[in-house]
């Protein structure tokens, strides 16, 4: 029984640990990964209850449920937690999305396999190996694919619109449904999955880290340069200074002054966030200074002062989209 428990429950977590170790920047805190695993487990309980209700009360044939209804339902449920993270700008890069996605899928598979261990103890050892290395890893893989695909769309369009997540849910559901159709021998399907999934994740990690380094290099230079103009009082000689002068036609002088303060504090936090990332890449663990919390409080106060219209007016000056908002969340979580 212990062998069955080990081979059915723990392989997916070995994959998860391997993916975390591949991430050289280590942007996701351990407690956040644990939260994702727990969320996946809770969602699995809900799905198992609903699937049982569908089969027992609606009269849907179990095969129809397994092949079509369950894949869509389960992928939709697993996606909910990831949609929340991405829309709250808590996911910076595709590599983070992949780890979060696989963690949610791991938690889901863990609870699902505990349910099967309890309700179907007659399954052979080979069956448990297929569930542990096949079905469980499939849950993590499809959820990671959804997260990667959705994060890619959000980054491309620099927005987190809810309809950007629909293609990823459909793609994950199709893959899940294909797996449940058993077109291929289960052992062969498991082997192919164990080859393809790590290769896919590795390519995503490599591409994501390249994007991250390019973003750090370009973003640090531009943020530091603009911050230097502000601190030296030379902002009026730049295009940004001229733009701010034009804003006086529509906003009071006090609001424009708050806008300038908002830009300065935002840039200070952005530069610090990028500095922490660069230090983490080189193996250093940095404790963020105590004044960071005060700066965030001041930033929130100024945000309320200038209002939504003021923030919209500032959008041409500096970036406040997806990844650039994530860096503030990253710094504030330290």
Q: Is 221 exposed, middle or buried (0-12, 13-18, 19+ CB in 10 A)?
A: exposed
Q: Give the pLDDT of residue 319.
A: 58
Q: Could you tell me how many helices (H) and strands (E) the chain has, helices first?
A: 14, 0
Take residue 263 and report the two structure tokens written for it.
């830009």
pLDDT digits (tens, 9 = 90+) for 36-89: 999 999 999 999 999 888 888 887 888 898 999 999 999 999 999 999 999 998
Q: Over 85-103, what HEC string results?
A: HHHCCCCCCHHHHHHHHHH
Given a cut of 70, whether residue 223 has pLDDT beyond it is: yes
Predicted confidence band of residue 219 (pLDDT cuts 50, 70, 90): confident
Cα–Cα nearest to 63, from 175, 172, 177, 188: 177
Predicted confidence band of residue 278 (pLDDT cuts 50, 70, 90): confident
Given a cut of 80, whether residue 333 has pLDDT beyond it is: no
Q: Which residue has the higher pLDDT, 197 or 283?
A: 197
Take residue 234 and report the two structure tokens written for it.
């030379």
Phi-psi region for residue 251, left (φ > 0), alpha (ψ -120 to 50) or beta?
Answer: beta
Task: Tell me how far apart the alpha carbons of residues 324 and 220 are, in angstroms, rounded to a whole number.
Answer: 11
Cα Rg, the chain, nearest whole Å: 24
pLDDT digits (tens, 9 = 90+) for 144-166: 999 999 999 998 887 889 999 99
CB 58 within 8 A of CB 123: no
Predicted confidence band of residue 22 (pLDDT cuts 50, 70, 90): confident
- Transcribe 298-327 into DSSP letters: HHHHHHHHHHHHHHHHHTTTS--SHHHHHH
Other Cβ atoms within 10 Å of 182 Cβ, number: 11
Task: Tell me how far apart the alpha carbons of residues 288 and 45 are, in angstroms, rounded to a whole number.
Answer: 38
CB-side neighbour CA atoms (13 Å) of 182 = 7
User: Across all residues in the chain, what is the average pLDDT?
Assistant: 87
Cα–Cα nearest to 270, from 305, 233, 321: 321
SS3 329: helix
Q: Which residue has the higher pLDDT, 37 or 27?
A: 37
Q: Give the pLDDT of residue 227.
A: 85
CB 244 within 8 A of CB 256: yes
Q: Give the pLDDT of residue 313.
A: 85
| Chain position carrying tokens 């959008």 | 315
- Greatest mean pLDDT among 76-85, 215-224, 254-263, 303-312: 76-85
Q: Which residue has the higher pLDDT, 21 or 315?
A: 21
| Domain residue limits, the chain | 2-210, 233-332
In this structure, the dihedral spanned by the alpha carbons of residues 85, 180, 45 and 168, taken in order and rounded to 10 degrees, is: 10
């Amino acid at each position: 029984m212990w062998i069955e428990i080990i081979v059915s429950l723990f392989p997916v977590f070995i994959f998860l640990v391997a993916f975390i170790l591949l991430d050289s920047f280590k942007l996701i805190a351990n407690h956040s990964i644990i939260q994702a695993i727990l969320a996946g487990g809770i969602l699995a309980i809900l799905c198992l209850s609903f699937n049982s209700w569908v089969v027992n009360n609606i009269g849907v044939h179990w095969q129809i449920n397994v092949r079509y209804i369950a894949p869509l339902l389960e992928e939709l449920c697993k996606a909910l937690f990831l949609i929340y993270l991405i829309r709250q700008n808590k996911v910076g890069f595709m590599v983070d999305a992949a780890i979060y996605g696989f963690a949610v899928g791991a938690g889901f598979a863990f609870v699902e396999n505990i349910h099967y261990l309890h309700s179907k103890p007659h399954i052979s050892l080979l069956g448990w190996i297929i569930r542990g290395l096949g079905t469980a890893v499939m849950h993590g893989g499809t959820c990671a694919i959804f997260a990667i695909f959705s994060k890619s769309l959000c980054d491309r369009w620099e927005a987190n619109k809810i309809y950007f997540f629909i293609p990823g849910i459909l793609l994950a559901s199709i893959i899940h449904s294909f797996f449940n159709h058993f077109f291929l021998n289960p052992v062969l399907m498991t082997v192919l999955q164990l080859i393809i999934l790590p290769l896919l994740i590795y390519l995503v990690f490599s591409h994501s880290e390249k994007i991250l380094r390019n973003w750090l290099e370009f973003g640090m230079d531009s943020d530091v340069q603009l911050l230097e103009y502000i601190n030296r009082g030379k902002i009026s000689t730049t295009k940004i200074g001229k733009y701010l002068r034009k804003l006086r036609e529509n906003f009071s002088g006090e609001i424009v002054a708050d806008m300038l303060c908002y830009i300065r504090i935002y840039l200070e936090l952005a530069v610090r966030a990028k500095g922490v990332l660069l230090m983490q890449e080189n193996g250093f663990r940095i404790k963020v200074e105590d004044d960071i919390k005060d700066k965030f409080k001041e930033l929130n106060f100024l945000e309320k002062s200038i209002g939504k219209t003021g923030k919209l007016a500032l959008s041409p000056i500096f970036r406040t989209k997806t990844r650039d908002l994530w860096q503030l969340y990253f710094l504030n979580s330290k």
